[in-house]
């Protein structure tokens, strides 16, 4: 199956700093990439959808100025958490899709962010 | 408002028996339904999907059933194996994936 990688797998940062998370599709071109957030024992919540070369579409309640998404190529999307706070601590997961309209997405392994 | 619901947070099944995971949804406009398997601190892994125009899809030990009139789908795993122990998420799709809250399956010997 298609492989999606994320880097870093875990990161600890101080409050007020910014953190960048990379998501790469390794063996296919991802038309669309998605960023999710998962709180403990809860479902995955879609944060934003990004298409290569265009601005990301954010879900209601997600601050676009805080969670900056860049989808510069068909194989790379980045999520930057700016001015991180302890409440931003979470498990962030990206996914990629090479086709439209089926919902079949390939997920990265996730990034555990801890803000101290 | 939770559009996709998995009402059983956990399920315990003996090895070799059938595991049945259930999922209910509220939006009749969903096009596809998918099941994902997830281990702790890892991303979900796609298992099986079904189009809204079908009522059954089978792939090896995994079968998904869709009852549109009841807005209900289920995942059957038979025979269950200890390696199947994980959290299973159902998800529904129109223009984006909406996930249920997951069911933790434990398969014991």
pLDDT tens for each residue of B53-103: 999 999 999 999 999 999 999 999 999 999 999 999 999 988 788 999 999
Res A41: pLDDT: 73
Contact at CB, A107 and B36, closer than 8 angstroms = yes
> Which pLDDT belongs to residue A67?
96
Total residue length of chain B = 109
| B86-93 and B103-108 beta bridge pairing | antiparallel
Confidence of residue A99 (pLDDT cuts 50, 70, 90): low
Q: A1 to chain B: which residues are within 8 Å by CB?
A: 46
A1, A106 in Cβ contact below 8 A? yes
**C-alpha distance from residue A81 to each of B47, B55, B75 (Å):** 31, 42, 36
Rg (CA), chain B: 13
List pLDDT tens digits, range B3-52.
Answer: 999 999 999 999 999 999 999 999 999 989 999 999 988 889 989 999 99
Q: Spell out which residues of chain B touch residue A91, defining contact as CB-CB under 8 Å.
A: 41
Which chain B residue is nearest to residue A103, measuring alpha carbons?
A: B93
Query: Cα A12 to the chain's mean position, in Å?
Result: 17
Per the structure block, which two tokens stand in for B72? 């209900």
Whether residues A105 and B49 touch (CB distance < 8 A) is answered with no
Helix spans in A1-116 (H): none
Give residues 3 to 62 of A whose Cβ lies within 8 Å of B. 4, 6, 34, 42-46, 49
Nearest chain B residue (CA) to A3: B45
Q: What is the pLDDT of residue A52?
A: 81
pLDDT of residue A95: 93
B/e letters for B85-101, b = 16+ CB within 10 Å, e = fewer, are: bbbbbbbbbeeebbbbb
């Amino acid at each position: 199956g298609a492989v999606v990688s994320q880097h870093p797998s875990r990161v600890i940062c101080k409050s007020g700093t910014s953190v960048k998370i990379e998501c790469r599709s390794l063996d296919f071109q991802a038309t669309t990439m998605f960023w999710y957030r998962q709180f403990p024992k809860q479902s995955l919540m879609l944060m934003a959808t990004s298409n290569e070369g265009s601005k990301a579409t954010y879900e209601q309640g997600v601050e676009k100025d805080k969670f900056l998404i860049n989808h510069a190529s068909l194989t790379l999307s980045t999520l930057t958490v700016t001015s991180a706070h302890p409440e931003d601590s979470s498990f962030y997961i990206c996914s990629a899709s090479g086709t439209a309209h089926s919902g079949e997405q390939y997920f990265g392994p996730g990034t555990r962010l801890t803000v101290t | 408002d939770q559009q996709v619901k998995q009402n059983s947070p956990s399920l315990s099944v003996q090895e070799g028996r059938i595991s049945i995971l259930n999922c209910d949804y509220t939006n009749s406009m969903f096009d596809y339904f998918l099941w994902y398997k997830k281990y702790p601190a890892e991303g979900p892994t796609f298992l099986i999907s079904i189009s809204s125009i079908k009522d059954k899809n089978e792939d090896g030990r995994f079968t998904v059933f869709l009852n549109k009139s009841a807005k209900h789908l289920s995942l059957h795993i038979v025979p269950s194996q200890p390696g199947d122990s994980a959290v299973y998420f159902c998800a529904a799709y129109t223009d984006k994936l909406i996930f249920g809250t997951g069911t933790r399956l434990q398969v014991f010997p």
